[in-house]
Structure 1
Amino acid sequence: MTGMGRPEKPVNRTVPARAKLAEFLRERKARAGRTYEQMSETAGGMPSKATFERATSGSSVPSWETVSEFINMTITEEEVSTSALGSAYTCGLDLWIRARRATRAPYYVHKAPDPNLISTEADLLRDLRRQHVWAGYPTPGEMERMSGIGELPSSTTRRVIKGEILPVDPRQTIAFLKACYVVRPVDLAPWLFAAARAHAYLGAASKWDSAHQELLARIEKSQDQEEAAPAPSAS
């Protein structure tokens, strides 16, 4: 039910991926037992009641900020007690990316690109562009805001997306990939290894090799720390 007590309109199912995101948000709201008005008031009016309502209509894809705040406003005691909140954000992000991919991508990519198949600079540029589409086609401005200051200028990102240039160095490549939701070191490592292969014939692979080795060292250190962590109590 809405804040006025009226039944909600049916979800717009024109785009199935968009409808699934709307249904996910409606289910969270129903479990939390909250109205859109209450959610907006708790959020300090941003997003507004109308913005929360539109997010569950299925007629458009809300911003990730709106989806994230929607999840914040519908956290249940069960999620807190079972440490399940992380999975709610993961699920929400996955549904949001799928909805964006279905409505904003300029062409359809059937699956995520595999960096292990990259051999040349042309391969690398093609698959960076495909990863951008797979991530739901974030705009250059969105990608710049997701990165550190000066790390990924929107003008550079725009040229990469158009297929005109490659990122200039490993740091910019990592920033581009993270803005396309390739975030974990274990997922970034194959891309850096691929970039080293792609640049090898130019004799410019050393900085890419170094970045790849640094990333592998971070992964190994993280794994060692996990193994060394004490096991949870059986009580």
Structure 2
Amino acid sequence: MGRPESPVDYTVREVGEHAQFLRDARTRAGITYAEMAKTSQWSAASFKRAASGKTLPAQTLALGYLRACGVGAGSGLLLRWTSLHARAAVSLAVRARQAATGVRPHPQFVRDRADLSGALRDAYAAAGRPSFRAMALMAGGWRLPRSTAHSIVSARSLPGCLDQYIAFLTSCGVGVEQLPPWFAAWHKVMGEPGPGEVRAYGSSHWKLRTQANLAYCVWLAGRSGEAPAPLIAV
């Protein structure tokens, strides 16, 4: 028996989720990378690297991986994979643009609605001004409609709730670990949101839902000195 596979790298969350999806497909098929390579043009090393989470594999490689695991063209898993791969590609593009712009938002200096609007627009600029379609894809579509993203970026409105606020920030490449000062800015301007305002996210975003919820609850607990208790059952 070979050495156990290293844990998936979640440095870029969407790439990690894509890698885990590939690993799950192989687990269901009950085959090794070597066995997969025998029925494909790709090597076992290529398949293993594709499922590492360290990089996003090309579509042709990922499709070859899934076919080697018995995932056919009409499978619902293939539709799920298409969405995961697209979201991971958008996330990497946003991060690349973010690194190139040099713009940095400062939510810690927010005092009022105008400041919060400006900070959100800075987050959008720091992300390289991604398309509203890309933002909706990153956020999960229904959580951040394109028209809503456009309205926020145009300074015509603020997010309607905490969940939409987090969705906007996520679509701009703001990581969960960067959310606490944004939570503070939201509370300062919008007041204390009730538990019902942190809506449960869609099942396809379970990892973000858990992490964002935990980050928010830990932040709230830190303000009150209480032990964190999730506002949403996940």
Looking at CA atoms only, which structure, 1 or 2, has the larger radius of gyration? 1
TM-score, normalised to structure 1, is 0.45
